Amino acid sequence: MPADSISRTIQHVTDPPDSQRNFLVVDSKTETSAIESAFRNFTQERKDIAVVLINQHVAERIRNSVDSFTDPFPAVLEIPSKDHPYDPDKDSVLKRVRRLFGE
């Protein structure tokens, strides 16, 4: 499957009239409030999203919201980006798992 086909299956915009995106593209100019709002929308308001993939360096900007989200769905997974390495010590899911095992 060509790479552009893969991105089309992940990124989706619902039909008009509301036309909601299931993604947010974040760059250095993106306001933290916009990231917070999108995270809240994807995790609390939208019922058609099962998994939220968030780059770990973006999750750091809204760490309190990411860490306080404990619902099983949608699953929130922190992933690395090509410019920022993944740090398992910052991952909210791994922190919860470690607490369960008494670490």
Residue 92: CATH number of its domain: 3.40.50.10580
Instruction: Give the domain extent around 17.
Output: 3-100
pLDDT digits (tens, 9 = 90+) for 14-39: 778 877 888 898 999 999 999 999 99
What is the number of structural domains in the chain? Answer: 1
Counting as low any pLDDT under 70, the low residues of the chain are 1-10
Phi, psi of 14 (to 5 degrees): -70, 165
First to last CA, the chain: 42
* Mean of pLDDT over the chain: 86
The whole model's pTM is what?
Answer: 0.78
Confidence (pLDDT) at 3: 46
